[in-house]
Amino acid sequence: MGNQDIKILQTNRKAYFNYEVLEDLEAGIRLEGTEVKSIRSGRFSFTDSYAKIEKNEVFLIGFTIQPYEKGSVFNHEPTRARRLLLHKAEIKRLRRKVEEKGLTIIPTKVYLKGNLVKMQLSLARGKNVRDKKDAIKERDLNREARREAKDYYR
């Protein structure tokens, strides 16, 4: 398999703020025809979405794909649970980590790999309020330092 082009369609920035991301993995998504067209045009949203393991399958819950504007009566349901395509060994490993360590599986990126729609899933631990405040403070300090450095070199 050759080197394929990867085009990132969207990153879930809010997930990186609300969670401490520990590990990433790639999954395919089982989509219907109009869903692919909507995703390619960027009409989807991560808001409060997560992955859930049921039996030996992984489902994406709360991931919204807007109806395709040129679709007919065969358009898809925007918020349905979508099956994620992973190997059995990966699903077992994920289940073990979620049950043992109390981690959450969240979608962090949607991208095109060749002509396939792929999703980056992340094993994550929720941050508490103090961690979030520290992250905001650090971001503001970095922004201020960049601003001062920019002014200094003028």
Which single residue is written with the structure tokens 């808001």?
Answer: 47
139 part of a folded domain:
no
CATH number at residue 112: 2.40.280.10
Cα gap 41→63, rounded to integer Å? 16
Q: What's the pTM value of the predicted model, to 2 decimals?
A: 0.76
Q: Which two tokens stand for residue 145?
A: 């330092």
Domain, as residue range, for 35: 7-127
Digit-coded pLDDT (tens) for 64-77: 888 877 766 667 77
The pLDDT mean for the chain works out to 87
What percent of the chain is modeled with pLDDT above 70? 94
120 part of a folded domain:
yes
DSSP 111: E
How high is the pLDDT of residue 79?
Answer: 81
Q: How many separate domains does the chain show?
A: 1
147 part of a folded domain:
no
**Residue partners of 59: CB distance under 8 A and separation at least 6:** 51, 52, 53, 81, 82, 83, 84
Q: Nearest CA to 22 among 128, 98, 85? A: 98
